[in-house]
């Protein structure tokens, strides 16, 4: 059985993951409008991934006799000054999620909840990977620069990263 404090904190995490899913979906729409098909595909996959993170917590709460709440989601921003500004927003959001996971770990330690500590380890690794990926994309954007031709190359680089991630996921599913 899970404590009410942990249940409440995990429900807050559900809301954060749900918001991320909608944020990335809104970003995908912006990318589509801007002709950044590779970035749009990347953001669609990120949105799906965030929803899966949310559902993972739903399942965990059910397994531990907790109750998952379906959160109300605030309208995410849907306009960006540039692809770089958009990815800076993504990186900042991933950092916020990492901090939230760290806070959940601290609470789990304080509550002596070893099951939740174990459950959250997956998120610790996932957030390290997410932050590294977004930092890598931002570094590529800074290297490529801005402008029409640069946007073309940025879109191709993000698309390549997305296709690599999809291929890795397929390989992991087969094994």
Q: Please report, in range form, the residues annotated as the binding site for Fe cation.
A: 17, 50, 53, 94, 127
Buried b (16+ CB within 10 A) or exposed e, 102-130: eebbebbeeeebeebeebbeebeebbeeb
State the binding site. 17, 50, 53, 94, 127
Q: Which helix (H) or strand (E) holds 97?
A: helix 83-110
Q: Whole-angstrom Cα distance, residue 155 to residue 159?
A: 6
């Amino acid at each position: 059985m899970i404590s009410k404090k942990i249940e409440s904190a995990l429900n807050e995490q559900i809301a954060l993951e749900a918001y991320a899913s909608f944020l990335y979906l809104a970003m995908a729409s912006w990318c589509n409008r801007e002709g950044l098909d590779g970035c749009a595909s990347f953001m669609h996959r990120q949105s799906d991934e965030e929803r899966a993170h949310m559902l993972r917590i739903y399942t965990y709460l059910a397994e531990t006799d907790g109750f998952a709440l379906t959160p109300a989601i605030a309208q995410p921003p849907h306009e960006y000054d540039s692809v770089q500004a958009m990815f800076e927003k993504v990186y900042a959001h991933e950092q916020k999620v990492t901090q939230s996971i760290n806070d959940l770990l601290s609470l789990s330690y304080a509550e002596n909840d070893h099951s939740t500590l174990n459950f959250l380890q997956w998120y610790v690794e996932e957030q390290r990977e997410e932050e590294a990926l977004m930092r890598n994309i931002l570094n590529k954007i800074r290297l490529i620069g801005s402008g029409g031709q640069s946007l073309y190359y940025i879109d191709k680089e993000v698309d390549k990263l997305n296709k690599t991630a999809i291929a890795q996921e397929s390989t992991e599913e087969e094994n």
